[in-house]
Chains A and B, each alone.
Chain A
Amino acid sequence: MKRRLSIGWLFLVTVLAAGLYSMAVRVFKGLGASTHLSDQFPWGLWVGFDVLCGVALAAGAFTLSGAVYILHLDRYKPLVRAAIMTGFIGYLAAIVGLLFDLGHPYRIWHPLIMWNPHSVMFEISWCVTLYTTVLAVEFSAFVFERLRMTFAARAALAITVPLVILGIILSTLHQSSLGSLFLIVPSKLHPLWYSPWLPIFFFASALAIGCGMVIVESFLSSKAFNMELEVDILSSLGRVLVVVLGVYGLARVIDLTDRGVWYLVAVPGFERCMFLAEILLAPIGAMVLMMMPNARKNRLGLFMGGLMTVAGFILNRFNVSMTGLVRASGTKYVPSWMEISVTLTLVVVAVALFAVAARTLRIFPDAKPCLEEGQTCKDKPSCCLVTPAKLWILAIWVAVGMLIVNAVRDFAAYQPAAVQHEAVQRGPASYPVLPKTLTFTPSADSPGPVSFSHETHHALGACADCHAGRFSILPRGTHSGAGRDMHAPERCGMCHDGKAVSNECTACHAVP
């Protein structure tokens, strides 16, 4: 036990040290020095995980507070505090993550003042700002309560219902809008993910992640702090998960069929593997598991259902914001170790904050062991997972693992299509590329043939001094001299007038 703890601490200290160093590099040297982002791939891990997943993982707050305060489903009441706290911490983490990603983080308030109602990002900025405020007020009630500031706590609780309604509306708007962000890239996002229904998918999956995350964090907290797991409540949440995942899955099937892109599942490449891994976790894996009554009433079964949902939708956000954009970008993006360490640091800090708050604010009741003294699985079947459920869990994780290994292998072998064209040739290392010397055919009364050198003339002025006003440009090696009086003031005579430039015959004519 002691050794395991020390390895854990070593990992944490390493992550935090690397994260702090990377944050410093990001702040003082810029995005180029700290990330693998480029003009071809301007959004990476910090947008894909910190912002998209951070906000999605926090969706339990509006889902559960809606169930408790709007639908008066009192059985979920013991979970609502943990959900609101996760939500608040999730949004704070997403905002801090965004601060590292923005080129000008100190201007993060600009969208509140400088409006562009046609921008999805503008709408998200407003909604996230307002909703984080809502969560802060909801969260403050717990803090006031703990500090025995009864009046303040009661004041914060008194406006709960309007706050929750506002919170649900704001969440509906920005959870779906995070999907709408990608509506603008139809020519860049892979057709397995680009869909006009992206906002609906993002909203429905946020509902599912909300439920899944509440289950996962309840399980982990019960393990970590020896607190009671409300299996009955979580199991009814598992049933909700089945419905939400079912609707989501059906919508995706209809969409993929409607757009006729199922054949892409047969096209080899990392996209197909990542797509299959994603849908195998959520909706398929989690939904089927939660449909098994035994798994739904079991701690481990519930945890696995929640974990599959969360992992599946994290993969989904990665796929929409990164995997699906690789092929059109002409480049290969892999996050730098600095990007990864900053993200890990945010996760570690968020989990630590949750742990501290969970303990001090007493958001979970105390634990009782599932099997009491002298009981066996036969006495209380819900304490043990049945074999089919175990096999299903194992099968899903093994399949997903294999798919991801395959995706990584395909990605490693993938050569970005160079944005080069067959016809492209490299010219000499100088500019401009001047045509060769032109030789005019002498007329009958000419003292000798005239050669025109672009080299010597270009040294005297710009191209535009002669072109295209006096001399139109023709295919290389040809000229329009034949049959024209080149001495005229609108042609060579313009400069060769005996004043600015010599008009001696021998200046141009090669006299034999």
Chain B
Amino acid sequence: MQFFENHHKEFVMTAKGLLFDVTRCALCGACWLADKERNELPIPDGDFTGDRLSDTTFLAIERHGARGVRHSCMHCVQPTCASVCPVAALEKTSIGAVVYHQERCIGCRYCVVACPFCIPKYEWSKQLPYVRKCDFCYSRIVAGESPACAAACPTGALLYGERSALLHIAHERIAAGNGTYVDRVYGEYEVGGTSLLILTDIPLEELGYPTNLPGTPMPSLTWEALVNVPRVVLLGGAILTGLWWLTKRREEVHAARKEQQ
């Protein structure tokens, strides 16, 4: 896991994150609208809280009573999607965003299968479909701006900054909240950590986020199998060649003995 560990260290130093505080969301829909505008997506009629993640919705706000709960790409510290993609079409950038290079994509949809948060969405209705999801406003971040959703949030429910700093703020809020908050920052440890961190006063089970995820990065699950590839090649080659020689030799000896008799 050396690769991931190095990657991790570098990431923790520089990467950006988002902190979403459920208690501060006013359900105004500004982030949802900003996402639609920035990604040039069609804006449906009707209540925005009914709009679920799809190939034309990368950020959804789900209504939980008077609260809103954000759903979008978590930009995992060690993203499952990027590790499973056979052509490296999904890439974890050093600023934290998980971006998609559609010119590489072969359309195998392994990312859709593998994502523990069920985020990547596929353009099923198109003849030549691509995967669509939030890209953390990569171009805006590179230009020194904050993501469109965070810039639009009027209430401070969505904070943008360095992930480590945001974690610090989150724990301060939990401590100052005197039990208002669930005593856990969702995304701090889930699948090895995510860039989108969630603070909530709604029990995690009701939040609509998976609560059965391991605390270790998902890519290690397949990597543990893949590290055996060189071993299989070398050992397998040696053993098979040895067996071939041995059985051949045995036959030769056998034939020679028969001749003597």
In the complex, what distance in Å separates the CA atom of A489 from the CA atom of B161?
Answer: 29
Q: Is B54 in the interface zone, CB < 8 Å from A?
A: yes
Question: Would you give the shortest CB distance from B113 to chain A, in whole angstroms?
Answer: 5
Q: Is the CB of B28 within 8 A of A123?
A: no
Given contacts A104-B107, A423-B64, A473-B154, contact A119 B30 (CB under 8 A): no
Cross-chain contact of B125 among A30, A120, A432 (Cβ < 8 A): A30
Q: Is the CB of B83 within 8 A of A119?
A: yes
In the complex, what distance in Å separates the CA atom of A298 from the CA atom of B218?
Answer: 49
Q: Is B86 in the interface zone, CB < 8 Å from A?
A: yes
Q: Is A96 in the interface zone, CB < 8 Å from B?
A: no
Q: Is the CB of B64 within 8 A of A424?
A: yes
- Chain A minimum-CB-distance residue to B91: A116
- Residues on B with C-beta less than 8 A from A462 are 30, 152, 154
Q: Is B156 in the interface zone, CB < 8 Å from A?
A: yes
Q: Is the CB of A119 within 8 A of B240?
A: no
Q: Is A117 in the interface zone, CB < 8 Å from B?
A: yes
Using an 8 Å CB-CB cutoff, how does the interface string of B228-243 with A read, 1 for contact, 0 for none? 0100110011001101
Using an 8 Å CB-CB cutoff, how does the interface string of B37-72 with A read, 1 for contact, 0 for none? 000000001111110001100000011111000000
Q: Is the CB of B105 within 8 A of A107?
A: yes
Q: Is A115 in the interface zone, CB < 8 Å from B?
A: yes
Q: Is A349 in the interface zone, CB < 8 Å from B?
A: no
Q: Which listed segment binds A: B10-18, B126-134, B135-143, B163-171?
A: B126-134
In the complex, what distance in Å separates the CA atom of A168 from the CA atom of B240?
Answer: 9
Q: Is B210 in the interface zone, CB < 8 Å from A?
A: yes
Q: Is the CB of A463 within 8 A of B62?
A: no
Q: Is B200 in the interface zone, CB < 8 Å from A?
A: no
Q: Is the CB of B106 within 8 A of A426?
A: no
Q: Is the CB of B206 within 8 A of A39?
A: no
Q: Is the CB of B225 within 8 A of A183?
A: yes
Q: Is the CB of B118 within 8 A of A70?
A: no
In the complex, what distance in Å separates the CA atom of A102 from the CA atom of B109?
Answer: 8
Q: Is the CB of B88 within 8 A of A114?
A: yes
The count of residues in chain A whose C-beta lies closer than 8 Å to any C-beta of chain B is 80
Q: Is A159 in the interface zone, CB < 8 Å from B?
A: no
Question: Would you give the shortest CB distance from A429 to chain B, in whole angstroms?
Answer: 5
Q: Is the CB of A28 within 8 A of B240?
A: no
Q: Is the CB of B113 within 8 A of A43?
A: yes
In the complex, what distance in Å separates the CA atom of A117 from the CA atom of B210?
Answer: 28
Given contacts A172-B232, A184-B218, contact A118 B3 (CB under 8 A): yes
Q: Is the CB of B106 within 8 A of A102?
A: yes
Q: Is A181 in the interface zone, CB < 8 Å from B?
A: yes
Q: Is the CB of B62 within 8 A of A424?
A: yes
- Chain A minimum-CB-distance residue to B233: A169
In the complex, what distance in Å separates the CA atom of A110 from the CA atom of B63?
Answer: 42
Q: Is B116 in the interface zone, CB < 8 Å from A?
A: yes
Cross-chain contact of B244 among A38, A117, A165 (Cβ < 8 A): A165
Q: Is A2 in the interface zone, CB < 8 Å from B?
A: no
Given contacts A40-B118, A184-B80, A473-B24, contact A104 B222 (CB under 8 A): no
- Residues on B with C-beta less than 8 A from A43 are 109, 113
In the complex, what distance in Å separates the CA atom of A124 from the CA atom of B222?
Answer: 13
Cross-chain contact of A429 among B46, B85, B152 (Cβ < 8 A): B46
Q: Is B253 in the interface zone, CB < 8 Å from A?
A: no
Given contacts A32-B124, A464-B154, A468-B155, contact A117 B106 (CB under 8 A): no
Given contacts A121-B84, A431-B48, contact A466 B154 (CB under 8 A): yes
In the complex, what distance in Å separates the CA atom of A472 from the CA atom of B105?
Answer: 44
In the complex, what distance in Å separates the CA atom of A264 from the CA atom of B129?
Answer: 38
- Chain A minimum-CB-distance residue to B120: A39
Q: Is A361 in the interface zone, CB < 8 Å from B?
A: no
In the complex, what distance in Å separates the CA atom of A426 from the CA atom of B49?
Answer: 8
- Residues on B with C-beta less than 8 A from A118 are 3, 83, 219, 222-223, 226
Q: Is A435 in the interface zone, CB < 8 Å from B?
A: yes
- Residues on A with C-beta less than 8 A from B153 are 464, 468
Using an 8 Å CB-CB cutoff, how does the interface string of A156-197 with B read, 1 for contact, 0 for none? 000001000100110011001100110111111000000000
- Chain A minimum-CB-distance residue to B234: A169
- Chain A minimum-CB-distance residue to B43: A431
Cross-chain contact of A427 among B24, B30, B47, B126 (Cβ < 8 A): B47
Q: Is the CB of A30 within 8 A of B126?
A: yes
Q: Is the CB of B124 within 8 A of A30?
A: yes
Sample of 11 A–B contacts (CB below 8 Å)? A33-B125, A39-B124, A42-B113, A116-B87, A125-B86, A169-B240, A172-B232, A188-B116, A424-B63, A435-B26, A466-B154
Contacts A30-B128, A199-B225 supplied; 12 other A-B pairs, CB < 8 Å: A30-B127, A71-B244, A71-B247, A111-B87, A121-B110, A184-B83, A185-B114, A186-B218, A427-B63, A432-B28, A433-B49, A473-B24
Which of A's residues lie within 8 Å of B, judged by CB? 28-33, 37-40, 42-43, 66, 69-72, 101-105, 107-108, 110-111, 114-125, 161, 165, 168-169, 172-173, 176-177, 180-181, 183-188, 199, 419, 421-435, 462-464, 466-468, 472-473, 476
Which of B's residues lie within 8 Å of A, judged by CB? 3, 24, 26-30, 32-33, 45-50, 54-55, 62-66, 80, 83-89, 104-110, 112-114, 116, 118, 120-122, 124-130, 151-157, 202, 206, 208, 210, 212-214, 218-219, 221-223, 225-226, 229, 232-233, 236-237, 240-241, 243-244, 247-248, 250-251
Q: A-B pairs with the 9 shortest C-beta distances?
A: A103-B107, A467-B154, A32-B124, A463-B154, A473-B155, A121-B86, A116-B88, A122-B86, A42-B112
